[in-house]
Amino acid sequence: MGFSCRIPCVKPLLNNRQRQKRLAWAKDKKDWTAAEWSKVMFSDESKFCISFGNQGPRVWRKRGEAQNPRCLRSSVKFPQSVMVWGAMSSAGVGPLCFLRSRVNAAVYQDVLEHFMLPAADQLYGDADFIFQQDLAPAHSAKATSTWFKDHGIPVLNWPANSPDLNPIENLWGIVKRKMRYARPNNAEELKATIRATWALITPEQCHRPIDSMPRRIAAVIQAKGAPTKY
């Protein structure tokens, strides 16, 4: 009958109010061109975990070797992990920031001061840009809004629970796929691997997902605010 068994795609849970806001946002931005989207600096945080003993989905083994350490995939109850903040534009990626503590408004403003501003200089020079961020509490705090006003940086309004609209998610996916078979032994080695892999991202890999923004917005409108394939 044409059915096949597949693992469901994981998408954020959206209530009706959030869907309506996504739809309204998409309709407001539907006439933006790819050139206009190239003026946006997209940002996000992502979590990376040490994958102990990850040898891929399958192993070659003989009868009786099921418990051979070479044939096992180890699991760890609380694997070491790091949280990373990054930014990107059509011109490429900015420097990464490894977050050491829970991100409150003060910590986030420190990230903006020491990582976002240098990224803006690197990616835009003296040209104007718009900064994108999600609606995390530290991002939407009054003190953070004041920081942006004091620095004269416009912030793109953004709908909640909308990773499918953020091109930087594609870059996190690229980095994690490239690191699939990496073997970091501790958090410092994990950070070094992330930095090295992030540095290999090309401007073309950044331009492609940003160039898809008009199509992403059209998909949101077609889905009436529901999650899209992106």
In order of their start, the domains of the chain are 40-49+78-159+167-206 (3.30.420.10)
- DSSP lists the bridge partners of residue 81 as 49
In whole angstroms, what is the distance from residue 90 CA to residue 64 CA? Answer: 53
Low-confidence ranges of the chain (pLDDT < 70): 6-7, 51-58, 72-79
Question: Residue 209 is encoded by which pair of tokens?
Answer: 């997902």
Coil, strand or helix at 155:
strand
Report how far Cα 198 is from the mean position of its chain's Cα atoms.
Answer: 12
Contacts of residue 94, Cβ cutoff 8 Å, sequence gap at least 6: 41, 86, 87, 88, 115, 116, 118, 119, 120, 122, 123
pLDDT for position 54: 44
Task: For residues 193 and 199, give the distance between their C-alpha atoms in angstroms, rounded to a whole number.
Answer: 10
**Are 153 and 131 a contacting pair, CB within 8 Å?**
yes
Pairing of strands 130-131, 97-99: unpaired
Among 59, 80, 87, 81, which Cα is nearest to 71's?
59
pLDDT of residue 78: 53
Would strands 92-93 and 40-49 be described as parallel, antiparallel, or unpaired? Answer: unpaired
Q: Report the alpha-carbon distance of residue 34 to residue 213 in Å, rounded.
A: 7
* DSSP single-letter state for residue 84: E
Please check whether residue 210 is in contact with residue 37, taking contact to mean a CB–CB distance below 8 angstroms: yes
Cβ-in-10-Å burial (0-12, 13-18, 19+) of 167 comes to buried
Residues 90, 95: Cα–Cα separation, whole Å: 15
Q: For position 159, what pLDDT does the model report?
A: 97
Retrieve residue 42's tokens.
């997209």
Q: In this structure, what are the phi and psi dihedrals at residue 40, rounded to the nearest 5 degrees?
A: -95, 130
CA–CA gap between residue 154 and residue 71 (Å, rounded): 53
What distance in Å separates the CA atoms of residue 93 and residue 2, rounded to the nearest whole number? Answer: 42
